[in-house]
Amino acid sequence: MRLKFTKMHGAGNDFVVLNGLRQRIQLTSEQLRLLADRHFGVGCDQILLVETAQHPDADFRYRIFNADGGEVEQCGNGARCFMRFVHDHKLTHKREIVVETKNGLITPRLEDNGQVTVNMGAPIFEAARIPFLGSDDAVIQTLEVAGEAIQITTLSMGNPHAVQVVTDVEHAPVVIQGALIEQHPRFSQRVNAGFMQIVDHKHIKLRVYERGVGETLSCGTGACAAAVTGIRRGLLDARVNVATRGGVLNITWGGNDTPVFMTGPALAVFEGEITL
């Protein structure tokens, strides 16, 4: 099978984007892993697939596959790249579209400066819906990890997140502890592990160990989850600049059941073809 693709990134979180409107694409988990492999394939954190919408209110369907070949519910940086892709490839002339994901509808908008703002929907805090095995929906939960009790906040931004506050994100045990949190038995569908350093009420630094991928340079839903966590804990204002290793994302949340808005870059790197 020969596939055309576009390599893109949003703040260093990189993607292989496939146009399923103009070519029939049904890839096995093995083929997806090969495509994402940085030595034997194109290389990426996630593979994004553009398809015809099934929901009557959506313009497109947006499917996301992690580097391990598993399909997931949401990807915030990918949503921005998705908007940029369909606009640049003239699949739509709209600057704001409704996109169907595995976990509902989102609304990305292409700004005049080339950045993309995404209405990510309202965060979910109910443990059963994250899903997280907990006795209540308390903002701060204790999680036992390798004999250490850590304080986390759990929530869903269309996908599950566990966020902890650290003193120095550069020296946080992201790779080792992140992998243990991702696979923790209290998260039945695994989880994205966020490590957040508070700089001041408007700025944070963030690293995320992503489910099915490992640490990435940036995680859009992770940035949303971290900002929401800080706001809920009274540590952050409603507008937050999130500095990741790949760039800065701007997150806004009004609290309660209001939607989270994320703004950041979305860039095409190159186009090509690969035989799988």
- The catalytic residue among 44, 81, 219, 224 is 219
Which pLDDT score is estimated for 22? Answer: 82
- The catalytic residue among 44, 75, 81, 224 is 75
Distances 22 to 255, 257, 265 between C-alpha atoms, Å: 41, 38, 26
Percent residues over pLDDT 90 in the chain: 96
Interval 238-259 mean pLDDT: 97
| Domain locations in the chain as residue ranges | 2-119+265-275, 127-258
Buried b (16+ CB within 10 A) or exposed e, 68-87: ebeebbbbbbbbbbbbbbbb
CB 84 within 8 A of CB 60: no
Same CATH fold assignment for domains 2-119+265-275 and 127-258: yes
For the whole model, what pTM was predicted? Answer: 0.94
Report which of 203, 235, 239, 242 is spatially closest to residue 221, judged by C-alpha positions. 242
Tell me how many helices (H) and strands (E) the chain has. Answer: 4, 18
What are the pLDDT digits (tens) for 191-204? 999 999 999 999 99
Using DSSP, state whether 28 is helix, strand or coil. Answer: coil
Q: Please identify, in words, the CATH class of the domain defined by 127-258.
A: alpha beta
Tell me whether residue 75 is one of the annotated catalytic residues. yes
Using DSSP, state whether 33 is helix, strand or coil. Answer: helix
List 202's β-bridge partners, or say none: none
Interval 49-55 mean pLDDT: 97
Q: Please identify, in words, the CATH class of the domain defined by 2-119+265-275.
A: alpha beta
Buried b (16+ CB within 10 A) or exposed e, 23-42: eebebeeebbbbbbeeeebb
Which pLDDT score is estimated for 64? Answer: 98
